[in-house]
Amino acid sequence: MTQSLPADTLNLKSSASTRPRLPEWLRANLPLVQAQRTYNQTAGTVQQGALHTVCQEARCPNIHDCWTRGTATFMIAGKSCTRGCRFCSIETIRQPEPPDGDEPERLARAVASMELSHVVVTVVNRDDLPDGGASHYRLCVEAIHQQMPHTTIELLSSDLDGNWNALSRLLAGIPLAVFAHNVECAGRLDTEVRDPRASFAKSLEVLRRAKQSRPDLLTKSSLMVGLGETDEEVTEAMRQLRSAQVDLLTLGQYLAPGRPGTRFIPVQRYVHPDQFHAWADQARQIGFRAVAAGPLVRSSYRAGQLLSEARE
């Protein structure tokens, strides 16, 4: 039995050679002159520090919104990932270069230079490393904290390929405000959307174990829509996340980073902002402490504001 999509959803049928026209609510505005200066300063800090940002590597549509505010989400452990998810534009390599031993210090200097009050550090999957990269992730967080002890830090972690000992060592005493890990999509779509080594169940277990290990930390996850899920599957995914005591949630529209016919999964629907508002209301009723939901919302979108809302 097939399920009809709601009336406020824009369904898509695109050929292999054309990209569907974006609806009005998915068009981002470019920054004004003063904001552009701040954007350029942020870009300069990232470049001078030889750092990578998920804003650039994942082609985030909010890069101007965030960078004109002087904030950025740093991506550590290299710019290549050992996994090949069909929603992600980050380069896939089976055996990337070893993590750069100087990266923690360079990262800390960049955070200090930008005088960030909240910083998001995200990672690439490092299945080539025995601990999945956990020890390097920890060094980066500790370096930031040492230089900027009053800056709150959010780590958007990989699943460490289910290495629970590595997860425990990563979290033990680490100076984090938020531990995040994304389930990405409704579980039914795992095999179509994510790398075979990833799954909704494994991601949920990462979040559950993180909360058990460090109940003082806020945990966070993110869902993309427009991949073929139903509205009911989104609600069910939110319920499962709350069953793992996840505190913070972001929901956003999937936008294919490449043209139709490439390896990227095509967009199945563009969801109207009203539906995002409805999901946000549901999420708060279910028990999430803070929610960001909208067509252009991404996992680290205005992360500092979400943390403040949760603390209030």
Rounded mean pLDDT of 278-302? 95
Residue 131 has pLDDT above 80, yes or no: yes
Rounded mean pLDDT of 87-96? 92
- Whether 11 is in a domain gets the answer no
- Whether 1 is in a domain gets the answer no
The gap between the terminal CA atoms of the chain, to the nearest Å, is: 44
User: Which DSSP letter does residue 51 get?
Assistant: -
Specify burial of residue 113 (Cβ count, 10 A radius: 0-12, 13-18, 19+): middle
More confident residue, 94 or 48: 94
pLDDT digits (tens, 9 = 90+) for 133-188: 999 999 999 999 999 999 999 999 999 999 999 999 999 999 999 999 999 999 99
What's the CA gap between 63 and 276, in Å, rounded? 21
- Whether 6 is in a domain gets the answer no
User: What pLDDT was estimated at residue 67?
Assistant: 47
Residue 40 has pLDDT above 70, yes or no: no
- Whether 238 is in a domain gets the answer yes
More confident residue, 171 or 21: 171
Containing structural domain, residue 175 = 25-311
Rounded to two decimals, what is the model's pTM?
0.83
More confident residue, 225 or 51: 225
Q: Which two tokens stand for residue 196?
A: 């075979």
- Whether 10 is in a domain gets the answer no
- Whether 127 is in a domain gets the answer yes
Contact status, residue 291 vs residue 250, Cβ threshold 8 Å: yes
Instruction: Assign 75 to helix, strand or coil.
Output: strand
- Whether 146 is in a domain gets the answer yes
Amino acid symbol at 39? Y
For the chain, the domain total comes to 1
Query: Could you tell me the CATH number of the domain that includes residue 307?
Result: 3.20.20.70
- Whether 150 is in a domain gets the answer yes
Residue 125 has pLDDT above 70, yes or no: yes
Least confident span in 39-48, 108-117, 123-132, 302-311: 39-48
